[in-house]
Structure 1
Amino acid sequence: MYKRDKTENLKNNIRYLMRSRGETRISLCNASGLTRTTIYNILEGRVVNVQQSTIRKISDFFGVSYKEIEAIDLEGREVIESTVSLYGNMNPAAVPVIKQRQLVQDMNKRIGELVTICPLTYYFGTASNLIGVRLETDIDGMYDLGDLLIVKKGELNGEGETLVYNKETKRLFVVRENYRESDADLIVGSIIEERFNGL
């Protein structure tokens, strides 16, 4: 009975992690190196005793402990953590908002100075060295005029999206992994939140 409970918990956690992280069975198989049959058998409840090496590959893919994925209700835990802060009543971070046309001249200023000369927005989360970039032109059909991008200044995001300014074209663009920086490019930083149409 204990094994069956652990397997049921594993199955539910994999389903939740795939749904909440935007993954599919195929993307999980391709990235973890497991066969589709293995994943399908676990998710369909056809396996009672899943090998530890299989569990470890799945948990590594999702960035959770292999013990947690078997024993804890991850969905329930994440719901609680998102509503109750572990650190008590945290204050949001003040984020200076820079207009796109001011970006190059303001990039070298410290956050403490920017906070005193720019309008502010607030970021609810744990982060530092943040700026907001108010777009004054569209970016490749991804973002529109008026959108606000919250960016971790100067950081190149290897896995997510990075905002880059090209000094020659005087335009912003977004890059993902495997980006090669050129001399004309100024890395604004990694995008950690988008607020569409100024919301």
Structure 2
Amino acid sequence: MHRRERSENLKNNIKYLIKSRGETQLSLCNSSGLTRTTIYNILEGKVVNVQHATVRKISDFFGVSYEEIETIDFEEKEIIDSSISPQGNMNPAAVPVIKESLVVQSLDKRIGELATIYPLTYYFGTSFNLIGVLLENEIRGMNEPGDLLIVQKGVASSDKEKLVYDKLTGKMFITHEVDAGSDRVCVIGDIIEERFNGLQR
């Protein structure tokens, strides 16, 4: 594939990934350590030969493959992925694994930033904005310390169990119903998957 084609793919993928992941050019710059000029020049098509280190920083930020960000069309690929069975040939999403005690203070950080700070696990599916919550305390009758909950951050749909933080007790719990008017609880997000202790990988 020619350099011009690769840089065109890179440009289109950055635009699509910023939009689809709820990021901004600024968050990409801040978390990847790249300058706004660098990102601007790529998005305006002013550079044909983008340095490998730059491409790697961008792909790491979005949790996607270094090779694929220059060679495939992510928008097209994700449309196809979301219309086939989850058992199909999907690329896993990189999910930062955060200890229970650090989750609440991490909620205002973007996934791309969290992925550079915390260890990663991978999730096969079409969800986005995912974090892994590594439990340090038992959730009575549900989960033990060491269990990993894959949570879609900030989302609260009606049909899924939610991971919720009780500010008064400082403990996490799982519920279907959340009182939207309550200041006492903080909704971490919808639970997408549970991985029980010892089955992390």
Please give the range of the TM-score, normalised by the shorter of the 2 chains: 0.5 to 0.7
**Two-structure CA RMSD over aligned residues (Å):** 1.6
Residue 197 of structure 1, CA deviation: 0.5
Q: TM-score, normalised by structure 1?
A: 0.55
Instruction: Name stretches of at least 5 consecutive residues in structure 2 with no aligned partner.
Output: 1-83
Residue 81 of structure 1, CA deviation: 3.8
Residue 82 of structure 1, CA deviation: 5.3
Deviations for 1:103-125, whole angstroms, at most 9, x for unmatched residues?
A: 11111100000000001000011
Aligned counterpart, 2:176:
176
Deviations for 1:85-136, whole angstroms, at most 9, x for unmatched residues?
A: 2xxx431000000100101111110000000000100001111100000000
One-letter amino acid of the counterpart of residue 130, structure 2: L
**Is it true that 1:123 corresponds to 2:123 in the alignment?**
yes
In structure 1, how many angstroms separate the alpha carbons of the residues matched to 2:175 and 2:169? 16
In structure 2, how many angstroms separate the alpha carbons of the residues matched to 1:103 and 1:133? 7
Identity of aligned residues (%): 59
Residue 198 of structure 1, CA deviation: 4.3
Aligned counterpart, 1:165:
165
Pair 1:198–1:184, CA change in 2 (3 A): farther
Larger radius of gyration: 1
One-letter amino acid of the counterpart of residue 95, structure 2: V
Matches within 5 A, 1:89-128: 89-128=89-128
Pair 1:176–1:102, CA change in 2 (3 A): same
Q: SS in structure 2 opposite 1:127?
A: coil
One-letter amino acid of the counterpart of residue 167, structure 1: K
Q: SS in structure 1 opposite 2:197?
A: helix
Please list every run of at least 4 consecutive aligned residues from structure 1 whose deviation after the TM superposition is greater than 2 angstroms: 80-83
Aligned counterpart, 2:137:
137
Residue 149 of structure 1, CA deviation: 0.2
One-letter amino acid of the counterpart of residue 169, structure 1: T
Pair 1:114–1:198, CA change in 2 (3 A): farther
CA contact (8 A) 1:158 1:176 kept: yes
Q: SS in structure 2 opposite 1:102?
A: helix
Instruction: Name stretches of at least 5 consecutive residues in structure 1 with no aligned partner.
Output: 1-79
CA contact (8 A) 1:161 1:190 kept: yes
Matches within 5 A, 1:45-124: 81=85, 83=87, 85=88, 89-124=89-124
CA contact (8 A) 2:86 2:124 kept: no
CA contact (8 A) 2:98 2:134 kept: yes
In structure 2, how many angstroms separate the alpha carbons of the residues matched to 1:127 and 1:96? 14
